[in-house]
Amino acid sequence: MEVDKQQILNDYRKQEDRLILSQILDKMDIAEKTSKMEYTDFLDMYQVALVKTFLKKIQVQNYILYGGYEDSERNIAIFYPEKYTQEMIQKNYSKFIKIIKIELGKEEYGKYSHRNYLGGIVKLGMKREKVGDIIVSDEGADIIVKSETAEILAKELGTLTRFQNSKIEVKELTELRKQQITTIQRDIIVPSMRLDNIVSDLAKTSRSKAVQILNQERVFINGQNEIKPSKTVKVGDIITIRGKGRFVVKEQKGTTRSGRIVLMIETN
């Protein structure tokens, strides 16, 4: 697909957006010219939303966003020639993504959180975009990574004191452990279904701080970045606040005597 790269990027003011989309256009171009699959680094939720909107705008359909499992938060964008079938694409997933499986020593079961694993990766100097989701259990973690960085990162993780008693191996995606998801339901009371009201309660902060979080592009509704404080939230919406968690608006239970809305929220 022939596109005027500079012309199309002129619509984007933020330098970081232009950089991501420029890389996307490069990957598309290489895939088309070589008739081979090309893929990006891992994209976070904001970048995924940006890329999906961008590719829809320029009418590109030969791509997949994939992060190793359904509903992954961090994904790579894979571009493929028209001749490729879904089966052909799926067979190539293992070429792009591996997992680093960390099995803790029994005396360390339940000791480490997502932050501990990510902190170790950052300490080693590995770029965040080379690493996808980190699935944590009491026994350890599965770290989803780009294939080309898997072996070196696994080796370096073994040098960290926190993992000196752990077994660390590079494995195929087929060995990805299932997430241990425990959901919690709770009620919140908000003056209206405006997004800033709901973010304020979910993030346990003031409404003005909630607006700041929105302006920092940290809030997503059903995977799409949202910055408008007055956006109306609906039952069934999935709200993700980077740094705070993922929340599902399960039910509108009614109103209080003062007219405030009672919502059931599910989180994990």
According to CATH, the topology of domain 95-175 is Alpha-Beta Plaits (3.30.70)
Give residue-wise pLDDT tens across range 190-211: 999 999 999 999 999 999 999 9
Phi/psi of residue 227, each to 5°? Answer: -115, -5
Residue 89 token pair: 């694409």
Domain 5-91 classification at class level? alpha beta
Range list for CATH 3.10.290.10 in the chain: 184-267
Asked if 181 contacts 198 with a C-beta cutoff of 8 angstroms, the reply is: no
Angular region, 11: left φ>0, alpha ψ -120 to 50, beta rest: alpha
pLDDT, residue 225, reads: 87
Give CA 107 to chain center in angstroms: 31
Walking along the chain (268 residues) 10 residues at a time, the average pLDDT comes out as 68 87 93 93 91 91 93 92 86 92 94 92 93 93 96 96 95 84 86 96 95 93 90 94 89 94 92
The DSSP 8-state label assigned to residue 43 in this structure reads B
**Alpha helices in the chain, H assignment, sequence order:** 5-9, 15-34, 45-57, 86-91, 93-96, 114-123, 147-157, 195-202, 207-215
Give residue-wise pLDDT tens across range 96-125: 999 999 999 999 999 998 889 999 999 999
Range list for CATH 3.30.70.330 in the chain: 95-175
Q: Which CATH architecture has domain 184-267?
A: Roll (3.10)
pLDDT, residue 3, reads: 57
Nearest to 241 by CA among 209, 267, 219, 268: 219
pLDDT, residue 156, reads: 96
Its pTM stands at: 0.80
